Chain A
């Protein structure tokens, strides 16, 4: 039977396609909708947090840090409650990682603070002796791209109906505000001022006061949001 296919390239190719596509169809489709439902209390990222998430991706933090707590006591003791599918509902892309050269960061916002990150990103070895993590001083100089962060928020709101400008918990207030471009950028800059208030780097503070948001501020906003 297979010999028949080996003389007919078209049907051979079709058969190969059926064989390889089969697994994907069975595995991926059935639970697709269910898995994308958000957990109660999960909110979309603010524009500043998204800008920080883009810094996280740009510097490939996910090459060494996972964001996935497995349901073992040794992991929940170390990192907190194990991960739930719905907590990732607004993560595009997902950032689970595949290698823990450094610790998991899924709930790092629960136990690290702005000043800890500030010192650590500038010189990790001064905070954690023996670390293999590189220093990221350039994040204190590079300016975060708020426009692209707004573009991402706007895109997921329009294309994927991510609930910005909505009252999610029914308390009569909008939970995560996006608004138009001007108001979104103004809001992000205001958020950045709150982060910078807890930082000590003079250049960073001055930049934020002048409306320029260094990458480190956005990144810390993102890391603080991971809970």
Chain B
């Protein structure tokens, strides 16, 4: 990928998003650990009045990690990767530079406002679309700014062919734009009636329709925030870090277009045995199984990229992070389709197996890949060596242990509860009252909370390592080509 002349890339916006990633990561994951401990020890839910209850904090956690942490990481990666694969610097266009800075500023303000308003209880209740209408408008504005940034930079590119990572960034931009707009269609009630809170709005859709639009959105917010931009990262950073070519161009085409076509159908698997039409539930179920192909296509393409170079796992901790991320992507994308099979869904739905599934995906795949990307970018943006390898290794094993504790305990909790809900005795009566199926979960909730805590400690190690790298890592005289230099 190297050309003769070096282009001087501008990383000011990428740096800002990098710091935001760490800030929102700490906030979001700390909230997650608090929530986990609240389920294990419910008295913790009443320490801060109405602002400390599990129910008030839960949307804060999901929004902080999805739209605070993950999106910051995605944008940081975009402002780093975009210039490099297009062979053009942001410096060359003051207009695009201004757009990028405005994008960051508005984004940051929105997330801060989101934290405040969700704490206060302003929520639409629709999962991952909780923000009320004034914030929705802000989101749309900076999303459009991001689009201008993507297509603007593409417009002045020197590299004619779009690299695979760009396909995924473009897909992220387009799909989220469509989903977000349709799912957040709402009517502000104060504007119509002249009475009441100006923050309040009412959904354009009612009941079953609302559910359908919501899960068409909700499932694909997962697809296009937690999957496609993360694939964009791994397609750039794994080959770059390992010095290996991507294993197969054909496989990347198949995986990309397959994913685009199939993913949106799978939203219906959130509504199995609900009141949406049966054919839609079946389509959701079937398409979820089909989805294994493009998902594993990407993951296998990444693992085979390492073919013949597996010794790098021993020498390069960053490769370890990325290989584990692809492996968890495979685990998560086989687990999801299994849960989408109707008979499995009958047990799994509404239980802790679902958050278990979400978290092996996000902790193992998304967060690991975002952290690996930051570990790769920071030494190049700040021209410094990573501060500590032993800290990286400790973090890796601590967090891996945390994930395993998390999903194994939630698998057991979910299946236990699902089976207890449907248990009948010999007289044809339900065996367990609901509370029996809650108290039985206490040990698993405790294990999960401990797993989450280990993961959070690992994340603090990561934050510290990045901070020390920026502050006092050994200065690099030239940019490393492949393996990121780490102090022993």
- Give chain A's interface residues, CB within 8 Å of chain B: 2-3, 6-7, 9, 12-13, 16-17, 19-24, 27-28, 31-32, 35-36, 54, 57-64, 66, 68, 70-72, 74-75, 77-78, 83-103, 125, 128-136, 138, 142, 145, 147-152, 154-156, 158-160, 181
Contacts and interface: CB of A to CB of B under 8 A. Distances in A.
B116 to A, nearest CB: 15
Interface residues of B, number: 94
CB-CB nearest 6 A-B residue pairs: A88-B207, A148-B196, A134-B45, A151-B196, A23-B264, A58-B121
B211 A96 contact: yes
Nearest to B58: A63
A34 B220 CA distance: 25
B422 A21 contact: no
Chain B CB within 10 A, most for which of A6, A24, A102? A24
B39 interface: yes
A95 B125 contact: yes
A83 B264 contact: no
B170 interface: yes
Contacts of A136: 50, 53
A64 B39 CA distance: 11
B154 interface: yes
Interface of B: 38-39, 42, 45-46, 49-50, 53-56, 58-59, 121-127, 151, 154-155, 160-162, 167, 170-171, 174-175, 178, 182, 187, 189-190, 192-197, 200, 202-214, 216, 220, 253, 257, 260-261, 263-265, 267-268, 270, 273-277, 280, 283, 287, 346, 349-352, 354-355, 421-424, 429-430, 434-435, 438-439, 445
Contacts of B190: 148, 151
Given A23-B264, A70-B273, 7 more contacts: A17-B174, A20-B175, A24-B216, A35-B208, A35-B276, A74-B424, A138-B49
A99 B42 contact: no
A178 B158 CA distance: 64
Contacts of A24: 178, 182, 216, 264
Contact of B53 (A59, A75, A86, A160): A59
A176 B423 CA distance: 41
A31 B167 contact: no
24 contacts: A9-B154, A20-B171, A22-B261, A27-B280, A35-B207, A35-B212, A36-B208, A60-B56, A78-B421, A78-B434, A83-B275, A92-B205, A95-B125, A101-B438, A102-B434, A130-B435, A131-B435, A132-B54, A134-B38, A134-B45, A138-B49, A151-B195, A155-B202, A156-B202
Q: Which of B38, B194, B196, B445 has most chain A Cβ within 10 Å?
A: B196
Nearest to B213: A28
Nearest to B190: A151
A123 to B, nearest CB: 10
A89 B206 contact: yes
Contact of A147 (B53, B55, B195, B264): B195
A85 B273 CA distance: 12
Contacts of B263: 20
A189 B49 CA distance: 27
Contact of B200 (A3, A17, A19, A148): A148
Contacts of A61: 55
A31 B202 contact: no
A148 B124 CA distance: 14
B178 A17 contact: yes
B264 A22 contact: yes
A2 B125 CA distance: 41
Nearest to B62: A63
B174 A77 contact: no
Contacts of A9: 151, 154-155, 162, 170
A96 B271 CA distance: 10
A5 to B, nearest CB: 9
A31 B274 CA distance: 14
B438 A131 contact: yes
A99 B55 CA distance: 12
A129 B438 CA distance: 11
A158 B210 contact: no
Contacts of B56: 59-60
Contact of B50 (A83, A92, A138): A138
B203 A92 contact: yes
Given A92-B203, A138-B49, A64 B280 contact: no
Contacts of B203: 92-94
Contacts of A83: 274-275
Contacts of B45: 132-135
A28 B205 CA distance: 12
Contacts of B210: 88, 91-94
A19 B435 contact: no
B207 A90 contact: yes
